[in-house]
Chain A
Amino acid sequence: AQSVAQPEDQVNVAEGNPLTVKCTYSVSGNPYLFWYVQYPNRGLQFLLKYITGDNLVKGSYGFEAEFNKSQTSFHLKKPSALVSDSALYFCAVRDYYSGNTPLVFGKGTRLSVIA
């Protein structure tokens, strides 16, 4: 079975500081990993994904994520947070061997960037 854990319901960071939103996963094979962001009253918006290759993946709006196979983690990072980054962030996973099946989403982490 596939699963994703986002251990923090809420992350607070000051504007200009680096931010990290944590995600750990469990799959039986190789993972495909995704990050989505949801702004208030909007749908989920794709940020970035890891398929294979370089463990550091760069995405939209200056976000990046680092795949760590030994720690089964895929943490989302940004060097300098903006107030406009305040939103709900979802990590998602799918097993490479599961074929064309839906992504499994975490419960989400609410990021609040304080000016």
Chain B
Amino acid sequence: EIVLTQSPATLSLSPGERATLSCRASQSVSDYLAWYQQKPGQAPRLLIYDASKRATDIPARFSGSGSGTDFTLTISSLEPEDSAVYYCQQRSNWQVITFGQGTRVEIK
């Protein structure tokens, strides 16, 4: 099973700042990686898939990059509504789809 390790655990930034979230895979997943946003009490929402493609209706301030084992989700200019937990997910080994443990983004 491929393990995804996300860092940092928590990120505390001010509105307008740039947020950089990391996801590292225990073995190569090519570009088969997605990012989700989960706000308190809500279901997750797909932000990025195939490492860098934005899902439908996702604002352009969200971008993804990386391949192989190291991936990044960047929020270029934080908005108050971006306060959430962000999860990465891989599907390279389709028999076991796995998620990271999440990064909490707090807006000061």
Partners in one complex: no
Interface residues of A (CB under 8 A from B): none
Interface residues of chain B, those whose CB is within 8 Å of chain A, are none
